[in-house]
Structure 1
């Protein structure tokens, strides 16, 4: 699988894990839905500007979408759902209120995507 196909798969996986339709992502990223469809199929290259807008809409970094890491591979971390739940049990949202289940799932999804890119 080439880099373009890997990026396409990652965008789809993150979008779907956030229960977001292709149309919703296209609107949030200000990209034509047909263009996003081709990007997700791996049949069209994504411009750097589009990648940035997709990353922002998915609450990801462009580095994580591209699986770029400056970290030492030996320091990569693998966290199970149980590990992430333990971390989130002690966390609060920015305004000090406990996180909702929805917030927890979004954060877990982000962390999983982040650490998968470091493997």
Structure 2
């Protein structure tokens, strides 16, 4: 991966969350000027720094680096997690899970900015 592609991925992830460079810098414990240089492609990112960026964005380092060997939508399915019921929610639990999801979205509206999971 080129430094410019990683820089663009960092920008895309930051902008998807409506974070400023300064906000991202605080989250990854870096000086704002360093984040600016990284986003401009003027500075390489160490593996430790890549890990901090991925952690801040709550994605894997592979996703942030643009690893094309991942699933097309880069998301885990319930089955990947070994979830109960084979990843299918029984009808009698759907209302409860819906209420939990709605409460979560009320508290974390930014979670909707990433769009629905592809099937």
TM-score (structure 1 length as normaliser): 0.65
> What RMSD in Å do the two structures reach over aligned CA positions?
3.2
Q: Which residue of the partner structure matches residue 31 of structure 1?
A: 30
Q: Does 1:76 align with 2:76?
A: no
Q: Does 1:18 align with 2:17?
A: yes
Q: Which runs of 4+ in 1 moved over 3 A?
A: none
Q: Cα gap change, 1:107/1:76 in structure 2, threshold over 3 Å: closer, same or farther?
A: closer
State which of 91, 95, 105 in structure 2 corresponds to 1:100. Answer: 105
User: Does the aligned pair in 2 maintain the 1:28–1:57 contact within 8 Å?
Assistant: yes
Question: Structure 1 stretches of 5 or more lacking a match?
Answer: 78-89, 113-119
Q: Distance in 2 between matches of 1:16 and 1:29?
A: 15
Q: Distance in 2 between matches of 1:31 and 1:70?
A: 30
**How many residues get paired?**
95
TM-score (structure 2 length as normaliser): 0.65
User: Does the aligned pair in 2 maintain the 1:31–1:50 contact within 8 Å?
Assistant: no
Q: Distance in 2 between matches of 1:50 and 1:40?
A: 13
Question: Structure 2 stretches of 5 or more lacking a match?
Answer: 74-93
Q: Distance in 1 between matches of 2:16 and 2:72?
A: 22
For residues 34-54 of structure 1, the C-alpha deviation after alignment (integer angstroms, 9 at most, x for no partner) is 111100000100011111111
User: Does the aligned pair in 2 maintain the 1:26–1:36 contact within 8 Å?
Assistant: yes
Largest Rg, 1 or 2 = 2
